[in-house]
Structure 1
């Protein structure tokens, strides 16, 4: 792990300006993206969630940086439990499902994790919303997803917040 990168991440805050400064550092030093991913995926490190926040900003603008790391990304999805990290990771899954070519295994791993996040009782709305949108994107190439997504959304609709319901309504209209 590059020591300056680790110090920058450890000293960062949730404020967008702080996260953006770190994202700029990665954009200027793209060779450090692998280190950022390694820290984000090291769920034992107390700063891994901060690395996830930064990675979300980096990939929102430069998604190609993830291309050579897609296997590591997909294989590590099930290791997350920190909700703050999961929010960013689920948003990255949305970017990936919309813009990158995935192998069958990568699609399967993202689909499986998005479904797990969606049906988990203890997940926050933002993670569930990104999971719904990810599943919608993946459902364009996997026939079985839309019927399952429709069933889950209609059954769970009454149990959730206004934010969840808004995303559910939007996606239900699209898959009818």
Structure 2
């Protein structure tokens, strides 16, 4: 275990600069990506969400670093419940849906998690918005997704904030 990585991230904060500095540390030391992923997916660690924040920024910059870990990522995304981890994990799902070639099994696990996040009441809007975008992308190959996504978005449209409504309206327009 890389002690410098542990110390850097455990002492980090939610401030963008702090997250970006830690992401840059990983980008400068890509061999640490496997440790970052292990730490992010250790939901028993009280700080696992901080590792998820960093993972999101790293993969936004270099999504190909996720290649060797896609099966692990997809098999574990349903284990997250901490909202501070769900937002970056759902955003990573969106990146993967848009830019990676996924196996049917990987797609299925992302689809299931995104639909779960959409229908759960206690999940915040940002996670729902990234889930909607990921499902839209995956629906390009799996047309049944659009039927279910339209129904959920329409049913929930009035329940959530302006941000949710804006994403919903955008995606509904694209699905027509």
What range is the shorter-chain TM-score in? Answer: over 0.9
Q: CA deviation at 1:74?
A: 0.3
**Map of 1:36 onto structure 2:** 36
TM-score using structure 2 length: 0.99
Q: Detail structure 1 runs of 4+ shifted over 6 Å in the superposition.
A: none
Report the CA distance between 1:160 and its aligned residue: 1.4
Partner SS, residue 44 of structure 2: coil
> Where does residue 153 of structure 1 map in the other structure?
153
So what's the TM-score if we normalise by structure 1? Answer: 0.99
1:123 is paired with a residue whose SS is coil
Q: CA RMSD in A?
A: 0.6
Q: CA deviation at 1:162?
A: 0.9
Quote the offset at 1:47 in angstroms. Answer: 1.2
* Displacement of 1:3: 1.1
Matches within 5 A, 1:162-173: 162-173=162-173
Counterpart position of 1:106: 106
- Render the CA deviation track for 1:44-71: whole Å, top value 9, x for unaligned: 1011000000011101001010011000
Distance 2:123 2:172 in 1: 20
For residues 50 and 155 of structure 2, the distance between their equivalents in structure 1, rounded to whole angstroms, comes to 34
Give the aligned length: 176
- 1:78-121 superposed Cα distances (whole Å, 9 cap, x missing partner): 11010011000000000000001000000000000000001100
| Aligned residue runs from structure 1 range 65-104, under 5 A | 65-104=65-104
Q: Which residue of 2 aligns with 1:26?
A: 26
Structure 2 runs not aligned, ≥5 long? none
Give the Å deviation of 1:127.
0.2
The alpha-carbon deviation at position 43 of structure 1 amounts to: 0.4
For 2:77 and 2:10, the matched residues in 1 are separated by: 22
Once residues 66 and 170 of structure 2 are traced to their aligned partners in structure 1, the CA distance between those partners, rounded to angstroms, is 29
For the residues of structure 1 that align with 2:10 and 2:111, how far apart are their CA atoms?
Answer: 31
Secondary structure at the aligned position of 2:122 is classed as: coil
Q: Per-residue CA shift, 1:11-66, capped at 9, x if unaligned?
A: 11001111111111101110000000000000010110000000111010010100
**Structure 1: any 5+ residue segments left out of the alignment?**
none
- Corresponding residue SS for 2:23: helix
